[in-house]
Amino acid sequence: MGFFKRMFGRGQDAPRSEEEARQEEQKIDRATAKARHGLFGQIASLFATDEPITDELWDDLEALLIQADVGVETTMYLVNRTKDRCNRYGVKRAREARDMLKAEMVRVLQEQERRQPVNANPSIVLVVGVNGAGKTTLIAKLAYRLKNQFGKRVLLAAGDTFRAAATEQLETWAERVGVPVISRGQGADPGAVVYDAIEAVSGGDFDVLIIDTAGRLHAKTNLMLELQKLRNIIRRKFPDAPHEVLLVIDATTGQNGVLQAKSFLKAVDVTDVAVTKLDGTAKGGIAFAIAQDIERPIRYVGTGEKMTDLALFDAETFVESLFAQD
């Protein structure tokens, strides 16, 4: 029941029954299948014997974690913390050290505690991230989740007016989900789009506004100024908004994705991270690198291609699924 207790009461989109929470757990389990059968499967095998702990074991663990996109700094942190814990408790066998490693992994993921959700109506969510990270699809999945699972009245805003076809893509997704979208077409002023959307939700007809933004890394300075401008437009009407700034990171890009994402931390007050395409990588260690390097909690993970393939992230469930034996 521990998983279900953790998932309840975590905001407007948290599971409200044991069955819903179990479905979230199953989504994460499916999304980590490639990682579980790949590098993390090899890590699990290292710690599946009663052989004595050796320096070679730690060297092998270090190499596999780095290969799994955990990152050098985070890898060394995990290995050293696990070693210290084993020494402290007198653990001598590989199998006994397994739980020590898992506990340290969970600890890394939980160090970035998610702040308490803001009880705002409307709730305004700003979605940021580099082009190609899967922002538009993530927005569609989130809108679907809020509308169909939690009965929220959702409005989308097509604030990415620079990328070709970005507006059209969001309009197509909005139609599939069955939610309205505010747009002005490619080349329009993103600030004008956001202003229209803010006016639209001011009347009390919507519970949630989700705003898409551009992600052009080749023009970082202009991009960051644009994001700050959008934030300022929002705050003229809602001083405490945006209530959530969601940074989208593509799991398949590994450490490059982490480096790119850091650009956004300087422009807007990112509150949470969404990891997309987790099901598309056999590595999976990107989550640990995000927790250490981005220093923001992971809120959502994309778990597949379907509209329902979006899950709330849970550290213990994630680590358990990486080590599970199918």
Task: Tell whether 314 is covered by a domain.
Answer: no
Backbone angles phi, psi at 158, to 5 degrees: -85, 75
Under 8 Å between Cβ of 41 and 32: no
Q: Which of 67, 85, 110 is the last residue of a domain?
A: 110
Number of domains into which the chain is organized: 2
Residues 51 and 179 in one domain: no
- Is 55 flagged in the annotation as binding? no
Under 8 Å between Cβ of 3 and 21: yes
Residues 97 and 199 in one domain: no
Mean of the per-residue pLDDT values of the chain: 88
Task: Tell whether 146 is covered by a domain.
Answer: yes
- Is 93 flagged in the annotation as binding? no
Residues 93 and 215 in one domain: no
Q: What is the pLDDT of residues 218-255, one digit of tens each?
A: 455 677 788 889 999 999 999 999 999 999 999 888 87
- Is 32 flagged in the annotation as binding? no
Under 8 Å between Cβ of 181 and 155: yes
pLDDT of residue 100: 95
Task: Tell whether 307 is covered by a domain.
Answer: no
pLDDT of residue 156: 98
> If we measure between CA atoms, which residue out of 300, 286, 324, 301 comes closest to residue 108?
286
Q: What is the pLDDT of residues 290-302, one digit of tens each?
A: 888 888 899 999 9
Residues 162 and 237 in one domain: yes
Residues 45 and 165 in one domain: no
- Is 74 flagged in the annotation as binding? no
Give the CATH number for residue 93. Answer: 1.20.120.140
Residues 181 and 249 in one domain: yes
User: pLDDT band for position 113 (50/70/90)?
Assistant: low
Q: By percentage, how much of the chain surpasses pLDDT 90?
A: 63
Task: Tell whether 8 is covered by a domain.
Answer: no
- Is 253 flagged in the annotation as binding? no
- Is 137 flagged in the annotation as binding? no
Residues 132 and 258 in one domain: yes
Residues 143 and 91 in one domain: no
pLDDT of residue 293: 85
- What is the dihedral angle through the alpha carbons of 112, 287, 104, 76, rounded to the nearest 10 degrees? -110
Task: Tell whether 60 is covered by a domain.
Answer: yes
Task: Tell whether 223 is covered by a domain.
Answer: yes
Number of Cβ within a 10 Å radius of residue 266: 11
- Is 229 flagged in the annotation as binding? no
Number of Cβ within a 10 Å radius of residue 76: 14
Task: Tell whether 262 is covered by a domain.
Answer: yes
Give the CATH number for residue 219. Answer: 3.40.50.300
Residue range 110-125: mean pLDDT, rounded: 77
- Is 204 flagged in the annotation as binding? no
- Is 121 flagged in the annotation as binding? no
> What is the torsional sign of CA 235, 240, 243, 246?
positive
User: pLDDT band for position 1 (50/70/90)?
Assistant: very low
> If we measure between CA atoms, which residue out of 193, 178, 180, 201 comes closest to residue 120?
201
Buried b (16+ CB within 10 A) or exposed e, 122-161: bbbbbbbbbbebbbbbbbbbbbbbbbeebebbbbbbbbbb
Residues 78 and 128 in one domain: no
- Is 129 flagged in the annotation as binding? yes
pLDDT at 10 over 60: no
- Is 200 flagged in the annotation as binding? no
Question: Which residue range forms the structural domain that includes residue 180?
Answer: 123-270
Helix (H, G, I), strand (E, B) or coil at 202: coil
Residues 74 and 157 in one domain: no
- Kindly report whether the peptide bond that precedes residue 242 is cis, defined as omega within 30 degrees of 0: yes
- Is 159 flagged in the annotation as binding? no
Q: Which of 231, 251, 270 is the last residue of a domain?
A: 270
Buried b (16+ CB within 10 A) or exposed e, 173-183: bbeebebbbbb
- Count CA atoms within 13 Å of residue 135 on its CB side: 29
- Is 212 flagged in the annotation as binding? yes
Q: Which of 245, 270, 295 is the last residue of a domain?
A: 270
- Give the burial class of 264: count Cβ atoms within 10 A of its Cβ; 0-12 exposed, 13-18 middle, 19 or more buried: buried
Residue range 109-131: mean pLDDT, rounded: 81
Residues 45 and 89 in one domain: yes
Please provide the size of the chain in residues: 326
Under 8 Å between Cβ of 294 and 319: no
- Is 135 flagged in the annotation as binding? yes
Task: Tell whether 236 is covered by a domain.
Answer: yes
How far is CA 192 from each of CA 143, 221, 306, rounded to the nearest angstrom?
A: 22, 20, 32
pLDDT at 44 over 80: yes
Q: Which two tokens stand for residue 152?
A: 């929220």
Residues 92 and 153 in one domain: no
- Is 278 flagged in the annotation as binding? yes
